[in-house]
């Protein structure tokens, strides 16, 4: 594992995996992730289904430069300058079905959560969750990296409404799955002792049966990252085993965000709190960096690098051969952070790929 401290920006499932990896370091090998910035997330999209959907609209995936979510619409910016838009409600045909068992909209186990819902245009909503997150945001405000004010009551009500909608909808879905024998292990409340007991029995073949084969895998890449012998590989579709696990290794099962989650990470009743546990909520903007929702995440990353809080940060750039497909990498360069500013919506989960590539 690298000795460099890293700031990770990710979706709720990716942040949950990072939390599990470091909490159970003796089983997973740990990670250099020291700051977790979680993104608001309703769902992700399937590469195959999106490709098929766009083709039905006479658009090939290679013609797409970038995907965005704007004003309640899913937007595809094409290389030729044309723009394709549909309401979010019509994205169901290409939504990843494994997203339907997640009830975490605001990335509840991050240090700082960021998204656009609840704040004015060119602002981001920032939820401060940990003391580490509070120190970072307080310093960013004091040193002029960002401007912040308390979120409005109307804004917070809207944010809670959206979060509750995800909880309500996906709770119904995962309970139906459980009823027909498709386990949703991450929703089975267990103690820390039970967690160690359950995960300590399991290896990749169990992960295959309990998560991957039943359509729960989120392609975060945690299993690939923690495998000490590189026995797990991800080919954009699903994790596969390329050789036998070591006899007493359970790393992938401990790390996966779709296996069991102990009450030490998600306390009982967490779904009754639509925004999870938090310290403060702000509406924030960063005038110095242009981004989809005010450049706030990029401004925080710049602060972390310039003040040596971390050594590297995860950013998302473009794949040169496929501009529509975001490519994750680690960098210590401010110019890389600024260049990568702006939310990028991906049909392939990037998760831990940047960390895996640096192992």
Q: What is the structure's pLDDT at 322?
A: 61
Domain ranges of the chain: 6-44+96-187+278-358
Distances (CA, A) of 247 to 204, 244, 250: 11, 9, 9
Distances (CA, A) of 199 to 23, 30, 34, 189, 221: 14, 16, 24, 14, 18
Q: What is the structure's pLDDT at 299?
A: 93
| Burial of residue 72, with CB atoms counted within 10 A of its CB: 0-12 exposed, 13-18 middle, 19 or more buried | exposed
**Can you tell me whether residue 237 is helix, strand or coil?**
coil
Q: What is the structure's pLDDT at 237?
A: 73
pLDDT at 183 over 60: yes
Q: State pLDDT tens for residues 250-259.
A: 999 999 999 9
pLDDT interval class at 107 (50, 70, 90): very high
Residue with tokens 């967490």: 270
Q: In this structure, what token pair is assigned to residue 339?
A: 């260049």
Hey, what's the torsion of the CAs at 134, 136, 142, 148, to 10 degrees? -60
pLDDT at 23 over 80: yes
Q: What is the structure's pLDDT at 241?
A: 94
Residue 39 forms beta bridges with which residues? 114
pLDDT interval class at 195 (50, 70, 90): very high
Judge contact between 192 and 237, C-beta under 8 A.
no
Nearest Cα neighbor of 208 from 189, 187, 234 is 234
Nearest Cα neighbor of 140 from 287, 299, 343, 335 is 299
Q: What is the structure's pLDDT at 275?
A: 96
Residue 316 forms beta bridges with which residues? 328
Q: What is the structure's pLDDT at 348?
A: 46
Q: State pLDDT tens for residues 154-167.
A: 999 999 999 999 99
Q: What is the structure's pLDDT at 113?
A: 98
Hey, what's the torsion of the CAs at 313, 315, 320, 323, to 10 degrees? 170
Select the highest-mean-pLDDT range: 23-27, 121-125, 234-238, 264-268.
23-27
Q: What is the structure's pLDDT at 347?
A: 45
**Mean pLDDT on 144-150:** 95
Q: What is the structure's pLDDT at 291?
A: 53
Q: Go through 264-287 and write b for each residue having 16 or more CB atoms within 10 A of its CB, e for each that does not.
A: ebbeeebbeebbbebeebbbbbbe
pLDDT at 20 over 50: yes
Q: What is the structure's pLDDT at 293?
A: 54
State how far the Cα of 67 lies from the Cα of 8, in Å rounded to an integer. 21
Q: State pLDDT tens for residues 61-100.
A: 888 887 777 777 888 889 899 999 998 888 888 888 888 8
pLDDT at 341 over 90: no
Q: State pLDDT tens for residues 206-240.
A: 999 999 999 899 889 999 999 999 999 987 678 99
Q: What is the structure's pLDDT at 94?
A: 81
């Amino acid at each position: 594992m690298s000795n460099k401290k890293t700031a990770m920006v990710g979706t709720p499932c990716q942040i949950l995996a990072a939390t599990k990896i470091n909490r159970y370091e003796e089983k997973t090998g740990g990670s250099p992730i020291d700051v977790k910035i979680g993104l608001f997330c309703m769902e992700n999209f399937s590469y195959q289904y999106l490709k098929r959907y766009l083709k039905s609209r006479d658009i090939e995936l290679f013609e797409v430069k970038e995907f965005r979510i704007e004003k309640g619409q899913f937007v595809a910016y094409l290389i030729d300058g044309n723009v394709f838009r549909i309401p979010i409600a019509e994205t169901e045909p290409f939504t990843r079905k494994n997203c339907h068992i997640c009830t975490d909209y605001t990335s509840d186990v991050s240090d700082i959560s960021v998204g656009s819902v609840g704040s004015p245009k060119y602002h981001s909503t920032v939820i401060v969750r940990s003391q580490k997150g509070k120190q970072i945001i307080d310093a960013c405000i004091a040193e002029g990296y960002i401007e912040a004010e308390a979120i409005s009551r109307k804004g917070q009500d809207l944010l809670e409404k959206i979060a509750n909608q995800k909880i309500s909808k996906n709770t119904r879905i995962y309970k139906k799955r459980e009823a027909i024998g498709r386990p949703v292990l991450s929703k089975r409340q267990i103690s820390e002792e039970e967690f160690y007991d359950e995960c300590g029995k399991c290896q990749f073949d169990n992960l295959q049966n309990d998560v991957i084969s039943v359509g729960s895998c989120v392609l975060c890449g945690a299993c690939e990252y923690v495998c000490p012998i590189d026995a797990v590989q991800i080919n954009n579709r699903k994790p596969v085993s390329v050789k036998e696990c070591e006899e007493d290794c359970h790393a992938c099962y401990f790390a996966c965000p779709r296996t069991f989650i102990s009450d030490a990470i998600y306390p009982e009743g967490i779904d009754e709190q639509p925004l999870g546990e938090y310290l403060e909520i702000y509406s924030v903007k960063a005038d110095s960096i242009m981004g989809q929702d005010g450049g706030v995440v990029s401004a925080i990353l710049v602060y972390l690098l310039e003040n040596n809080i971390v050594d590297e940060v995860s950013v998302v750039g473009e794949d040169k051969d496929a501009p529509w497909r975001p490519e994750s990498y680690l960098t210590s360069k401010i110019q890389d952070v600024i260049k990568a500013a702006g939310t990028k919506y991906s049909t392939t989960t990037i998760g831990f790929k940047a960390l895996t590539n640096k192992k």
